[in-house]
Structure 1
């Protein structure tokens, strides 16, 4: 067993204190001692270290109702770093910017007006049980969430491998301002629109990390999209172009994977080490989390369940919002359970979360029916829950991932 050196012990203690401040907002020295179990001299030393490094500051006093000197109240210096989460859909680009504590400080949305058929990356439709198609839903606004509780001192990347795919390293000059772009007018280059939306949301603030969520399979080695995703204007090597336009590290991630990050940190899978998020919307997919880490697969294709061939057609054609309007709940539950069974039989995750518009709107009633149908198909016990992430789960996940990157870089990564 490796013995912690004094330097390692200080790094662990400092990160523990910072994570507790992220969780609680503000704390006094006595409160830090009570929460960490550290001695008075040790807490005094770490507070002084964090103040000198510009990570925390005195934000007030407490104890006015008792005798003796008031206790200083400490908080994290919120503007030490800012991050951006980006959700690129087939009709809009949504951006939220937050400070290092997770507080939202800016947001922007721009439309993608260039027409392109919906979901051209899907396989040909082999079955269309209901001719009741409706247009895709536009993104809902982000419901600001408080920062995740990350008091554990050794999990600096967050529970779902928040550093993202390969190729997300910090380029020279990162942390400076974002180059503005034009508005989302027809014919604008997609890179220009994304960079412009990020710049609008950031305002005068420099960014430490930017995480972009988009449909499609992301190659975990190159970090680029491996297949066409149907987003107007998307082209090969778009990530590299974004990195030249946005003066901050930019990470690209599959949008369902990011929704799973949000579900794990602030939603129905909180506290679970293993689960599968089944995304049921105008597109259909899944995200796999095992032993607390997001699993992308050798080529980034883990969770691509939309192409599963089921009775009556592909899973995507049977449960996407385009084809289920008017379908009774029992029939819908049967279809969802049949698709979920493949993941349950192979992975035994113990929990399936129903996300996307269908999963959220179906609520507990649909989840219960899917659970009953799934139990009849598989002997493996599996809970089924609806998503409980408020607002745009993809944007939440992008922001949480970017925050984990900033926490690791600014607060320090605890030695293994």
Structure 2
């Protein structure tokens, strides 16, 4: 069995300290020693290394009367990098920019305009949201199947002006900034996993009930996309001879009583519970939010009658735009892995 080299050990220790600063905020050297279990010399060395690398800085002192090296609080240099999440709607572009700690530093949006190349429009929104900060990575959420092999949409997008190569062209306009395209519901599932109703759950399905109907599958704490990006596309499934997406289209669902709505949602959820046994179904999108705990309880009751395996049903608890939040979280993962190691 191979043992860690000194360089690898240093990298592991550095990342451990940086993750603790992300999770807990500024810490003193003694606090880092306690939390990591590392020795005094090792912590002293990693603090100097991270300061020289521009990753951490002294942010204050701990305690009212304490002075000296042990009282210094070390925190992340928030401006070390900025990332952007983009939610590409059928009628608008929305963007959020955050620093490396995850704090939001800017937002912007713009309606889609006929005749304006999509990459040009997205670039303008990103530059407005960035407010002069250079971007380290961009993650874009859009409706449609995204092929995990080449990052392109497998099927045609409902977004006006979409074509192959939009993301690549955007990256070029931004000076080579890494830009990644992801299915919108997959990104919403990331937000549910990290900050929403699925926190603490390794396995769950997010059933997306909005202007489009779809789903995301999370198993083992990871979004599962399938061989061609089609995992979770429940909208194409026929239920009682009709496409599931048509049965829950906004114009139709708005006329349904609570019991009928819950029955239709449960029939789609039953397919996932029967095949995957995820243990948890989260109801997201506008319909899931508006239905709240009452709809979740009604779906749960009906699901117990339809599916062979038990599953909890919860309403989404992500506040605001879940797609944007998932895009920012994904971009932060990419950037932190590159910068923190």
Q: TM-score with structure 1 length normalisation?
A: 0.79
- 1:397 correspondence with 2:323: no
- 1:280 correspondence with 2:183: no
- 1:373 correspondence with 2:305: no
Match of 2:164 among 228, 236, 241: 236
**Which residue is 1:177 aligned to?**
none
Match of 1:311 among 240, 243, 265: 240
In 2, the alpha carbon distance for the partners of 1:246 and 1:305 equals 35
**Which residue is 2:53 aligned to?**
53
212 and 68 in structure 1: CA distance in 2 versus 1, 3 angstrom threshold: closer
3-state SS of 1:389 partner: coil
**Which residue is 1:85 aligned to?**
85
Q: 1:215–1:255: 8 Å Cα contact kept in structure 2? A: yes
**Which residue is 2:95 aligned to?**
95
**Which residue is 1:197 aligned to?**
125
3-state SS of 1:83 partner: strand
In 2, the alpha carbon distance for the partners of 1:43 and 1:320 equals 57
In 1, the alpha carbon distance for the partners of 2:116 and 2:188 equals 28
* Offset at residue 348 of structure 1 (A): 0.8
In 1, the alpha carbon distance for the partners of 2:209 and 2:105 equals 30
**Which residue is 2:223 aligned to?**
294
In 2, the alpha carbon distance for the partners of 1:221 and 1:382 equals 32
* Offset at residue 69 of structure 1 (A): 7.2
In 2, the alpha carbon distance for the partners of 1:191 and 1:54 equals 32
Q: Which residues of 2 match residues 17-416 of structure 1 at below 5 A?
A: 17-65=17-65, 71-113=71-113, 186-247=114-175, 248-311=177-240, 313-412=242-341
* Offset at residue 295 of structure 1 (A): 0.8
In 1, the alpha carbon distance for the partners of 2:162 and 2:256 equals 34
Gaps of 5+ in 1: 114-185
Q: 2:29–2:70: 8 Å Cα contact kept in structure 1? A: no
* Offset at residue 312 of structure 1 (A): 5.6
In 2, the alpha carbon distance for the partners of 1:48 and 1:195 equals 38
In 2, the alpha carbon distance for the partners of 1:44 and 1:66 equals 19
3-state SS of 2:27 partner: strand
Q: 2:97–2:104: 8 Å Cα contact kept in structure 1? A: yes
Q: 1:282–1:322: 8 Å Cα contact kept in structure 2? A: no
Which contiguous aligned blocks of 4+ residues in structure 1 show a shift greater than 6 angstroms? 67-70
Q: 2:212–2:245: 8 Å Cα contact kept in structure 1? A: yes
Instruction: Give the length in aligned residue pairs.
Output: 340
In 2, the alpha carbon distance for the partners of 1:68 and 1:230 equals 60
Greater share of helix: 2
Q: 2:203–2:218: 8 Å Cα contact kept in structure 1? A: yes
In 1, the alpha carbon distance for the partners of 2:17 and 2:36 equals 8
Once the two structures are superposed, residues 327-347 of structure 1 have per-residue CA deviations (whole angstroms, 9 ceiling, x without a partner) of: 111111110010111111111
* Offset at residue 351 of structure 1 (A): 0.8
* Offset at residue 240 of structure 1 (A): 2.0
What value does the CA root-mean-square deviation take over the aligned residues?
1.5
Structure with the larger RCO, 1 or 2 (CA within 8 Å, 6+ apart): 1
311 and 82 in structure 1: CA distance in 2 versus 1, 3 angstrom threshold: same
Q: 2:280–2:312: 8 Å Cα contact kept in structure 1? A: yes
* Offset at residue 68 of structure 1 (A): 7.4
3-state SS of 1:107 partner: strand
304 and 68 in structure 1: CA distance in 2 versus 1, 3 angstrom threshold: closer
* Offset at residue 192 of structure 1 (A): 1.0
**Which residue is 2:8 aligned to?**
8
* Offset at residue 314 of structure 1 (A): 1.1
3-state SS of 1:96 partner: strand
In 1, the alpha carbon distance for the partners of 2:188 and 2:338 equals 23
Q: 1:278–1:352: 8 Å Cα contact kept in structure 2? A: yes
